[in-house]
Amino acid sequence: MSKLRLTWGKCGDDGHWCDFLRLDLETDYFKDLKGVYVIWNDEDKVVRVGSGIIKDRIAAHRKDTEITAYENLKVTWAKVNATQMEGVEKYLADELDPNVGERFPDRTPISVNLPYGV
């Protein structure tokens, strides 16, 4: 079975990973953007994965002290069709084993390319 190819979001002209706390979620780019996301720290330990409206989910996670207890957090995201989001989230949770989050969708995992270095 072939992997679903995702384009993972990055920041700046040089394409660096985005700072979780500083990413500007109010730009038009994020308006109604749905998909999956991965939050990790500078030790390449995945802290959280999820799916939904990206800016809403990231904004909510910024208020979660279980997540913000980790230092130097990075975030990336990818647009995913609504019918595939939970399957992709399930795959990411299975593969990346995040530290935070215990309930992940009870869906058939949909294989995707992982963000580089995570």
Token duo for residue 48: 């959280």
Does domain 1-113 match CATH 3.40.1440.10?
yes
- pLDDT value for 118: 59
**CA 61 from centre of chain:** 11
Which residue carries 């939904």 as its tokens? 52
Give the chain's end-to-end CA distance (angstroms, integer).
Answer: 23
pLDDT in tens, 30-69: 999 999 999 999 877 999 999 999 999 999 999 999 999 9
Q: How confident is the model at residue 1 (pLDDT cuts 50, 70, 90)?
A: low
The secondary structure element, H or E, covering residue 34 is: strand 34-40
Report domain extents, the chain.
1-113
**CA 15 from centre of chain:** 16
DSSP type of residue 91: H
CB 4 within 8 A of CB 92: no
What count of Cα atoms within 13 Å lies in the side-chain half-sphere of residue 68?
10
Q: What is the pTM of this model?
A: 0.94
